[in-house]
Structure 1
Amino acid sequence: MYVPNDRWTWSFTLVALFQAIIALALEAYVFGRFEASLHSGASEQSAARTIPTYLSLYIFGFIYELVLVWDALRVKNTIQVIGICLYNVGMLIYSAVKRDQIYDAIRELTKGNWIEPGIWDDLRPFLVAAPAVLALGTVALSFCAWKLYGVFSWDIYKSISADLQLKRRFLVFQVYITLLKLDFFFFLAFTVQFLVIVGGSFKDAEIILTIIAIPVTIIILWLAAVVTRRESYAGQACIIVIYFAAMAYFIFKLFRMYDNNNPEKVLEYYPARKSLTTFAVLTILLLVVTIATAGLCTKNFNKGLAPHVRRRKIASPANSYKPYPSAHDLNNHPMGPVPNRMTID
């Protein structure tokens, strides 16, 4: 189990932890207050499923961020530390979009008399506070990341060597692995919202394919990391083709959400259209960068990087380097005990 041993790693961890606790406490209150204000039978309305879904994504999002923090500090992945700051910005954008989406949901429920009047005035301060907490957390995480950049860069320099080209190849690999982890969250967040809020019949082929896509995506992203570590050209080509297929899927979803020629489908997407659009666009952008980075990783195959990327952790030179042998090493020397004497170095 990894335990932070540097003040900046501790600071980075604690900022992420406290931010998650405060944000989730705010969302828990919003969820409880919203559920208590619903009238009988309101749970059947698609708008009433909005807040529970958002809260579920928030819980998963912050837990996943803490896992990313632990993983980044464990393997000393500088790029992933920076990626966590960008991830936090994405959560900030989602929190701001969520506020407008909840307002639309409450307004729709109010029209049908499914919810207590005046509930929006009670929830609005907490919905405004959540993005403010994330904004402050992003600033604090970015400052800690700036400090960690120097610490981790020196460790990587000592561990990999002074070869500038090799360090650049390793940097590309770190970017790629970080992108895979971010792709997983944004794809899963989009899929969960689609299944819960939009819903549909299990006889609908689109719903069935979406459900199947969840475990398949997890396997593909895992294989993508394995293929890159093993430097397989054929495997990497297959993975890149799958990335293009995934991009086509999200473009298709965006088209369906705004296709005026199919008003029934547009109406189904409406309760979560802003949020789904946000996640779809972010996922498409991530896929574009992921494809480009996968190509760069392929270009770096068979150039001496494989032994370094197969290691799970960058060893800290301070912990691994012993300038002088210990007394135990001297007494257990293969040539017999070494007599103690003063030496001039």
Structure 2
Amino acid sequence: MGTRAQRAFFITIGVQAVIVITMVACTFGIVHAYLGDIFDLVPYKTLSCYIALFILAEAFELFMAYDALRMRNIIQLLGIILFHGALIVFSALQVHETRAALSDNNEWLLHKVEPFLIVAPCIVAASWLFLIFWLKQLYGEFGWVIFHVVGASPKLKSMYQYYQIFICLLKFDFFCFVGVTMQLLIVVLSTNSAEFGLTITAIPVVLTLIAGCGYAVRREIKWMMSIALALMLPCMGYFYKLARFYLPLSQAEYITTRATLTVFTIVAFLLLLTTFLVGLKCFYDFDKGLLDSKTHGQFYKPVRQQALGAFKIGD
């Protein structure tokens, strides 16, 4: 956080997170207080899902921003901009889904919470413009970092960029998987069903896969990377759930969250497919001189601090 652009980027995300979560919490509180015991019925569970996902998304974005600024990772900052754009879409979808949940005999309640629902996407969209503005300045600040880490070799620079993209994709894979799983557990699945047990079991398996894949690519462990890439293929089979959202026999279970679940499932599938393809490229780059840069070249002092340290030693 040594420059104005770095502080402004992080503060912008923090301020909009507080405002948006407050709007979402107000919506949740008003509806819960009005509906009372019937709030736990399926049509209204979308509000529980709404607040849980927004808290997860804002906490995730704050972590990603801090991590990107700490590592001076411009690729991850670009990923945050794309993620923030997706938040605009998600917050707009929640307006539609909340209207669907409250449309029956709750017109008064809908009109009361609608301003809070509309403010959320407006704040996210406004903060997105500010983030793009600060990103332009950060690009100038961090543009020299890859040169500092891998040197002047264009080949090493390209390989290191693919490595950064792969690590960034793994982090967003984590969010999408947790987001889809959270929605299914809150809104749809019964605790007594076999699908509930399978979903719970899948959580540690997928998280271990993501962590192991990140460790393998950083340390260039071929056998571990091979297993991780192989396991990504059956994980893509999770895409079959998209059909369940629209089949006549099961669509009623998903009706109030179908739009959000559809977007999350499609994005998760595309992210995982991209991760697999970029992972193959990173695997191909093993043993080509990048290992030292991955393990030792990411943590360093800024040039200004190095110069100051040298001056003090000389003094």
What is the distance in 2 between the residues matched to 1:42 and 1:151?
53
**Match for 1:259: what amino acid?**
L
Cα displacement string for residues 162-191 of structure 1 (whole angstroms, at most 9, x for unaligned residues): 111111111111111111111111110110
Deviations 1:220-250 (A, max 9, x none): 111111000111222222111221111111x
Deviation beyond 3 Å, 4+ runs, structure 1: 321-326
- Please name the residue that 1:253 is paired with: 241
2:134 pairs with one of 117, 140, 144: 144
C-alpha contact 1:155 1:316 (8 A) present in aligned 2: no
Q: Structure 1-normalised TM-score? A: 0.86
Structure 2 Cα separation of the partners of residues 159 and 48 of structure 1: 51
Aligned with 2:257: secondary structure? helix
SS of residue matched to 2:2:
coil
The yes-or-no answer on 1:309 pairing with 2:306 is no
Identify unmatched segments of 5+ residues in structure 2.
Answer: none
Find the counterpart in structure 2 of residue 229 from structure 1: 218
2-side partners of 1:309 and 1:143: how far apart? 30
Larger Rg: 1
CA distance, structure 2, for counterparts of residue 287 and residue 315 of structure 1: 34
* Structure 2 partner of 1:192: 182
The alpha-carbon deviation at position 26 of structure 1 amounts to 1.1
Q: Which protein is richer in helix relative to its size?
A: 2
Contact 2:32 2:39 in 1 (8 A): no
- Letter of the 1:28 counterpart: A
CA distance in 2, matches of 1:299, 1:270: 44
The aligned residue for residue 9 of structure 1 is 6
Shift of 1:117: 4.2
Residue identity matched to 1:258 = Y
The aligned counterpart of 2:161 is 171
Which stretches in structure 1 are left out of the alignment for 5+ residues? Answer: 111-115, 331-345
1:49 matched to 2:69: no
CA RMSD of superposed structures (Å): 1.8
From the superposition, tell whether residues 5 and 322 of structure 1 become closer, same or farther in structure 2 (CA, over 3 Å): closer
Alpha-carbon deviations, 1:28-57, whole Å to 9, x = none? 11111111221x431331112110221011
In structure 2, the partner of 1:294 is 279
| 1:97 paired to 2:86 | no
Distance in 2, matches of 1:28 and 1:281, equals: 27
C-alpha displacement of 1:314: 4.5
Corresponding position of 1:158: 148
Helix, strand or coil for the counterpart of 1:258? coil
Letter in 2 for 1:214: I
Give the drift of 1:325.
Answer: 6.0
Where does residue 75 of structure 1 map in the other structure? 71
Residue identity opposite 1:90 in structure 2 = A
